[in-house]
Structure 1
Amino acid sequence: MKLYAAGILAILNAALAVSATTTPAKRATVCNGHAELCERSFGAVTYVGTHDSYAIGAASNLAVNQDQDITTQLNDGVRMLQMQAHNQNNVIRLCHSTCVLLDGGTLETYLTTVKSWLDANPNEVLSLLIVNIDNMPASAYGAVFTKVGLDAVSYAPPSTPLAATAWPTLGAMIDSGKRLVTFLDNQADTAAVPYLLDEFTNVWETQFNVIDVAKFDCSVNRTKGDTGTQMFLVNHFLDKVLLGQPVPFVEQLNVTNAASGAGSLGAHVQTCRDSQGRAPNFLLVDFYEYGAGSVFEVAAGINGVTYAPTTPIATPRSANATSGTGASNTTGGNTTKGGNGAASTFSGNVIGSLVAGIVFACSALVL
């Protein structure tokens, strides 16, 4: 009897062991807001990105490219954050051309905000694009990612570069917990920091600093790889020339960000579809909320999903001093405080615009 009972117990234990090893992994059912995207490769989805996402302030200030804080940008649907990083006394700071012109705070503070948002939104995949102005080593960035805990959620591919078709699905990335993709425009070293990926071997870009809507074409401007297999990014922000330097053409934003019409984001995307035979992966824009969500409508149309936000997105700061998503923005004469906790220092609108124009005229403007 004892032997019989022992045999039964052994069979039960074996069955439990098999059950434990065959329990299916969790499966995300909603990815980046849509169930339809869970089975799509990361490289087969289109994302709205914010150009100089950290350069936050009133649109009347020449040195800024966004007027909503980082958390609001993400809550509203932005899924690529582009930034410009500078070495200031061995601290990585996010500045526009120079930290004298606009200082958006430290990379550490910025990434802490990103980490908090990712923790609060576990079914979202996000991309970062870092313009490494001072050619700092990947290890310098890796140290900051590790300090704030983003290394734990960063995707490191088994090999690089990856063709657009070789990326995992959004669902797989969410299930694995590795749902942050970071591109570095130079000095990437995947042997040292596997999750900081070289941008231009993985992604090609169109022309930037466009001042003529006719230049919103889909010609390859920057790449180090095979454009036929890479993902690609369209720079869709219109500038005007002031004192010899390009600055955001704020007066045209509703047209530039529109879903249709000459010079619109929608028209630019169609140009790419016609010339490249496929849609872009990343749509980089200024002041994303101008157009009342039109940039997200364009991305949703490409992705074959419906754009139907559950809460209104932010309204332009000039029309409403507070964000439509409930995140606060404090605007003063000299600083504007974003949701990343970093003050983007810049002078008041009138004097600041004149100062910015002089600085722009005296220094090369870079993305």
Structure 2
Amino acid sequence: MTAPRGSTAAAAPHPATCSPPKFGPWPTSPLPSVTFYNQEDTVTNQLRNGVRGLMLDMYDFENDIWLCHSFQGQCYNFTAFEPAINTLKEVEEFLTENPLEIVTIIIEEYVRAPKGLTKLFTDAGLVKFWYPISEIPMNGMDWPSVTDMVAKNHRLLVFTSDASKEANEGIVYQRRYMAENENVSS
């Protein structure tokens, strides 16, 4: 717990959502599905089982922000999973019930609604856990220890794939602060 957070690695399933798409062939829709769910466990069960990184694909869809696993920056009926707030409320519940845990969310983002993510995370009750962008270590400096993060209740790290959200919404642009390896073999 005293090692800097930046010296740790975490598995992060992509996408972390497990439920079948809302509008797919499950169970009665006549629409074909071009997306598949990758996880057998719910987000809550993934967190209970030790996952601490969640990769979530977020899109504007049906006048809300949805989790989709889609293509070309567009969510479709046949690629939509559920409103993102549902999953974020699971994260909020987990962090509330587990005051020593830290969760990282990495958003592949296609949200264009102004301040859409800010509103989403506020509505989900996650702002109280948010690691502030003003405290992000710069120029190779160490992250605080897990103990320090827990003491300050800065237990939610949120990164986005959209660089503009760093200045506009205070959400950290992932490419500045992390490395990603998608080619892990067993």
**Which TM class, normalised by the smaller chain length?**
0.7 to 0.9
Report the 3-state secondary structure (helix = DSSP H, G, I; strand = E; otherwise coil) of the residue aligned with 1:40. coil
Determine which of 50, 60, 70 is the counterpart of 1:87: 60
Match for 1:234: what amino acid?
Answer: N
Structure 2 match to 1:125: 102
Q: Say whether 1:68 aligns with 2:33.
A: no
Structure 2 match to 1:111: 88
Deviations 1:140-181 (A, max 9, x none): 100111112111110013255735543111110000011100
Match for 2:17: what amino acid?
Answer: Y
Q: Say whether 1:235 aligns with 2:170.
A: no
Match for 1:132: what amino acid?
Answer: E
After superposition, residues 261-340 of structure 1 pair within 5 angstroms as: 263-264=185-186
Distance 1:165 1:154 in 2: 20
- Work out the percentage of aligned pairs sharing the same amino acid: 23
Structure 1 match to 2:172: 197
Determine which of 30, 33, 51 is the counterpart of 2:14: 51
The alpha carbon displacement at 1:63 in A equals 1.1
Unaligned runs of 5+ in 1: 1-37, 204-231, 238-262, 265-367
Aligned residues: 169
Q: 1:48 to 1:164 in 2, by over 3 A?
A: farther
Report the 3-state secondary structure (helix = DSSP H, G, I; strand = E; otherwise coil) of the residue aligned with 1:105. strand
Match for 2:87: what amino acid?
Answer: Y
Match for 2:149: what amino acid?
Answer: M
Q: Say whether 1:39 aligns with 2:2.
A: yes
- C-alpha contact (below 8 Å) 1:163/1:202 kept by paired residues: no
- C-alpha contact (below 8 Å) 1:71/1:113 kept by paired residues: yes
Deviations 1:80-133 (A, max 9, x none): 000111111330000110333332211111111110011011100110001113
Q: 1:118 to 1:71 in 2, by over 3 A?
A: same
- C-alpha contact (below 8 Å) 1:43/1:165 kept by paired residues: no
Report the 3-state secondary structure (helix = DSSP H, G, I; strand = E; otherwise coil) of the residue aligned with 1:189. helix
Distance 1:142 1:185 in 2: 15
- C-alpha contact (below 8 Å) 1:161/1:201 kept by paired residues: no
Deviations 1:26-66 (A, max 9, x none): xxxxxxxxxxxx11111001111111001445xxx961211
Report the 3-state secondary structure (helix = DSSP H, G, I; strand = E; otherwise coil) of the residue aligned with 1:68. coil
Distance 2:87 2:94 in 1: 11
- C-alpha contact (below 8 Å) 1:55/1:95 kept by paired residues: no
Report the 3-state secondary structure (helix = DSSP H, G, I; strand = E; otherwise coil) of the residue aligned with 2:36. coil
- C-alpha contact (below 8 Å) 1:44/1:164 kept by paired residues: no
Distance 1:144 1:197 in 2: 16
- C-alpha contact (below 8 Å) 1:44/1:165 kept by paired residues: no
Match for 1:46: what amino acid?
Answer: A
- C-alpha contact (below 8 Å) 1:48/1:77 kept by paired residues: no
